[in-house]
Amino acid sequence: MKNKIIIILLFYTFISKAQNVLSLYPDKVPGSENWSWQEKEIISDPVNQLHTVYNVTKPTLTVYSPDKALNNGIAVIICPGGGFHHLAIDKEGTRVAKWLNSKRITAFVLKYRLVKTEFDNSGKEIPFSLDDRKKFDSIIAPVVSFAITDALVAIKYVREHVTIYKIGKDRIGIMGFSAGGGVAAGSVFNSDSTNRPNFLAAIYAYTGAIKQTTVPSNAPPLFIAAATDNLLVLPTSSTKLYNDWIAAGKSAELHIYSKGGHGFGMSKKNLPVDSWIDRFGDWLGLQGLL
C-alpha cells in the first residue's frame, strides 16, 4: 500500500511538472518544420550544476509561479543567452525566475530556436573573437528572426492567458541576457498591440544581429545592465540602446559596472555587479510594478 501511494504521488508530481512546460506552437513550428535534430542538455559546470540547453527546435515556456496568495499580477518572460547556439538556462533562466518569484512575480523561461550545433559542448562552436563578428552574425542570421518570433508568440500567449496566471494584461514584461537580450529588444522593435511587452530589461544585450532597431513611438520603459570589461559584447551595445531610447523620448535606466565581464547573470563574482538584480528590483518598484 505504501509503495502504491509513493507511485501515485510521483505520478502527480510528474504531471504537475509537465503542465508547467508549455509548447508555443501546437503543431509544426512555422519556418522550421523540417528541423529534425533533437534538443539536448548538458551540465557545463559540474561544480555549480550549470545546465546548458542546445539544438532547440520546439520553443517552450516553463512557468514559475509564486505562492497564489502573494501573486502581485506581474509577469516576466526570461530569454537566456548563449549566442543563439545554446541557452544558459540556469544562471540566466531558472535562477532569475526564482528571484522573481521571491518578489511575487510570475516568471516564464523561454526556450527559443537556436542554430544547430554538432558539438556536445555547444559553446565551442561560437567564435568568441571580436575579429569573427561578421562570421558570427552570418552564422546566427537564419535563426535570429525565428527567436524574436518565438518571444512575440510567448508574450501573446501570456497576455491571452492572464486569467489563468492571475496577471494584469498591462503588466507583462520581457528580459534577456546577451543574445537573449537581443531577442527581448527585438520583440519590442517588431511588436504590435497584441504582443508588445509593457517593460523591457536588456542585460549585456547583443543587438548586432537585429535588423529592425527603430524605437517605436509606444516603446516601454527600459532597464539596462552591463560591464565595462565585457570584451565579448562591448558595453557600447548597451549604451547605444540607452541613447536610442532617450533620443526617442522614452524612459530608460542604465547601469554600467566597471567589472563583471560577460555572462555574469545570477553568478556571484564578489563584485558590485552582483547587485544588478537588486537594482532591477528597485527599478520595477519605481515603475509601480512591485
pLDDT digits (tens, 9 = 90+) for 34-59: 998 889 888 766 555 578 899 999 99
Please state the three-class secondary structure of 216-253 as a single string.
Answer: CCCCCCEEEEEECCCCCCCCHHHHHHHHHHHHCCCCEE
Q: Are 214 and 119 in contact (CB under 8 A)?
A: no
pLDDT of res. 139: 86
pLDDT of res. 128: 47
pLDDT digits (tens, 9 = 90+) for 190-238: 999 999 999 999 999 999 888 888 999 999 999 999 999 999 899 999 9
Q: For the sheet containing 75-79, what is the strand order? A: 21-23, 60-64, 106-111, 75-79, 172-177, 199-203, 222-227, 252-257
Cell of 150: 518565438
Element (H, E) at 136: helix 133-160
Q: Is residue 16 pLDDT above 70, yes or no?
A: no
Average pLDDT value over all residues in the chain: 88
Segment 85-113 shows an average pLDDT of 95
Phi, then psi, of 160 in degrees rounded to 5 = -80, -10
Residue with the three cell numbers 518569484: 101
Segment 252-263 shows an average pLDDT of 96
Which CATH number is 22-286 given? 3.40.50.1820
CA distance 234 to 227: 8
pLDDT of res. 126: 55
| All residues at 6 or more sequence positions from 11 whose CB lies less than 8 Å from its CB, including other chains | none
Q: Is residue 122 pLDDT above 80, yes or no?
A: no
pLDDT above 90: percentage of residues in the chain: 72
Segment 12-24 shows an average pLDDT of 58
DSSP letters spanning 138-202 = HHHHHHHHHHHHHHHHHHHHHHHTHHHHT--TT-EEEEEETHHHHHHHHHHHT--TTT--SEEEE
Q: Is residue 7 pLDDT above 50, yes or no?
A: no
pLDDT digits (tens, 9 = 90+) for 219-232: 999 999 999 999 98
Segment 272-277 shows an average pLDDT of 97
Structural domain spans, the chain: 22-286
Element (H, E) at 109: strand 106-111
Strand 222-227 relative to strand 252-257, pairing: parallel
Q: Is residue 3 pLDDT above 50, yes or no?
A: no
Segment 261-277 shows an average pLDDT of 95
The pTM of the full predicted model, rounded to 2 decimals, is 0.89
- Give the SS3 label for residue 61: strand
CB atoms within 10 A of CB 126: 20
Per-residue pLDDT band for 129 (boundaries 50, 70, 90) equals low
